[in-house]
Amino acid sequence: MRRIAIHNLATNMIVARTVYASDGRILLHEGIALNKDYIKRLGDLGIISIYIRDKFVEDDNIKDVVSEKIRVETIQAIRDNFYELEKGRRLNTKRIHTLVNNLIDELLINSNLLVNLADIRSFDDYTFAHSVNVAILSIMTGITMQYNELQLKELGIGALLHDLGKTKIDVNILNKPDDLNKEEFEEIKRHPQYGFDMLRKHDDISLLSAHIAFQHHERWDGHGYPRQLSGEKILEYARIVAVADVYDALLADRPYRPSYSINQASTIVKRMAGTFLDVNCVDAFLSNIAIFPIGSFLELNTGETGVVVDVNKEMPSRPIVKIIYGKDRHPLFKSHEIDLSKLSTITVKKVLTGQEISLLSNEF
């Protein structure tokens, strides 16, 4: 399967991954054939890309690091908690602890997997899905950094609630499609303080978890906010969450831009290491990301073109590729697979765009 923008969808394409709302409702079932009404409805809901079935990659080959059930339940719970807070009620900390324990259990079981998929979310559901993704990515990084169970739990809770302070921000500012003015940006910059103040009132939330909300916008070079902390003065938990926060924001479709690809987002995060982000945290983070996810179309330095059918945990940037086009992109009579982790002379020249893939698929 592959992720495709709404404007490139066509009738009779088959949905490869169920699309959910943040309240757990199913918007489109896996396996359903698209029609004009479905495509229009997706656009009306602010969803601008979905996964469709692809003839080159079996959907069963793609395993997520967290089950769909756990992911949907966690997004729904975060949504409910945020809405309760907006009404002036308290955080359901018991439920938060259970959610994080479930995420840790799943991620420890699936620690041999790489992140291959970007989730599908509407503009209105961005904060809820983002919170869950940042928690998943942060816990994975903590596992790589050999954190113990207590550390993983503190990290996970802080990551899941890192944007809690946004419940105090006007939703019109949060979802503004245009550039923020100076006053609006200053208000956005208050959300770490708001989140910290809210979390430290709860006795069963670690003060270290609360400091993740406080510090996740601090930057390694001291140019972050709210206190312009730098280097190791920033809590390591917060440095991890900063990486996950930036990465997941890049993967999201936003009102003002489409999502970056996993490869593009990984490259941007890598470039930020040593200035905005901690190098060690970036390295640990990226070791869990399939730089070229299953379903990616790659042009190799040999002139051949293929699709990624599997990834290597030990070498995330050297996947297994099914070669389906020879030089000059002529379709091969018989495809074959190569493992780039075992072929050092073969490199990825280019990742094909959605339009290029559509042209190739039509020729095959």
Q: What is the CATH number of the domain that holds 217?
A: 1.10.3210.10
Whether 292 maps to a domain, the answer reads no
* 77 and 182 part of one domain: yes
pLDDT at 60 over 60: no
Q: What is the CATH number of the domain that holds 15?
A: 3.90.105.10
* 222 and 319 part of one domain: no
pLDDT over 70 percentage in the chain: 90
Phi, psi (rounded to 5 degrees) for 55: -70, -15
Whether 328 maps to a domain, the answer reads yes
pLDDT at 23 over 90: no
Per the structure, the complete domain to which residue 353 belongs is given by 297-363
Furthest C-alpha separation in the chain: 66
For the ranges 199-208, 246-255, 317-326, the lowest mean pLDDT is seen at: 246-255
DSSP state of 187: H
pLDDT of 57 reads 67
pTM of the model: 0.86
* 27 and 128 part of one domain: no
pLDDT of 212 reads 98
* 100 and 232 part of one domain: yes
pLDDT at 30 over 80: yes
Say how many CA atoms lie within 13 Å of 181 toward its Cβ. 2
pLDDT of 20 reads 78
**Which DSSP string do the residues of 126-177 spell out, in sequence order?**
HHHHHHHHHHHHHHHHHHHTT--HHHHHHHHHHHHTTTGGGGGS-HHHHT-S
Whether 254 maps to a domain, the answer reads yes
Whether 158 maps to a domain, the answer reads yes
pLDDT of 354 reads 66
Whether 332 maps to a domain, the answer reads yes
Work out the pLDDT band at 232, boundaries 50, 70, 90.
very high
pLDDT of 327 reads 84
* 57 and 74 part of one domain: no
pLDDT of 355 reads 64
* 218 and 84 part of one domain: yes
State mean pLDDT over 180-191.
Answer: 93
Phi, psi (rounded to 5 degrees) for 242: -60, -40
CB within 8 Å of 228: residues ≥ 6 apart:
218, 222
pLDDT of 234 reads 98
**Range 26-62 burial, b when 16+ CB lie within 10 A, else e:** ebbebeeebeeebbeebeebbbbbbbbbbebbebeeb
* 275 and 146 part of one domain: yes
Among 159, 335, 355, residue whose Cα is nearest residue 240: 159
pLDDT at 151 over 60: yes
Boundary (domain end) residue, out of 260, 286, 312: 286
* 204 and 278 part of one domain: yes
pLDDT of 24 reads 72
Whether 173 maps to a domain, the answer reads yes
The dihedral formed by the CA atoms of 22, 116, 215 and 199, expressed in degrees to the nearest 10: 40
Work out the pLDDT band at 256, boundaries 50, 70, 90.
low
* 171 and 144 part of one domain: yes
* 86 and 53 part of one domain: no
Boundary (domain end) residue, out of 286, 306, 337: 286
pLDDT of 119 reads 56
Whether 291 maps to a domain, the answer reads no
pLDDT over 90 percentage in the chain: 53
Select the more confidently predicted residue: 87 or 124: 87
- Greatest mean pLDDT range, 73-82, 215-224, 244-253, 323-332: 215-224
pLDDT at 190 over 90: yes
pLDDT of 54 reads 76
CA-CA distance, 82 to 127, in Å (whole number)? 10
pLDDT of 121 reads 52
Indicate the number of domains in the chain.
Answer: 3
Boundary (domain end) residue, out of 11, 30, 61: 61
* 56 and 72 part of one domain: no
pLDDT of 138 reads 97
* 52 and 72 part of one domain: no
Bridge partners of residue 14, in order along the sequence: 33
Interval 84-121: pLDDT, tens: 888 888 899 999 999 999 999 999 998 887 886 665 55
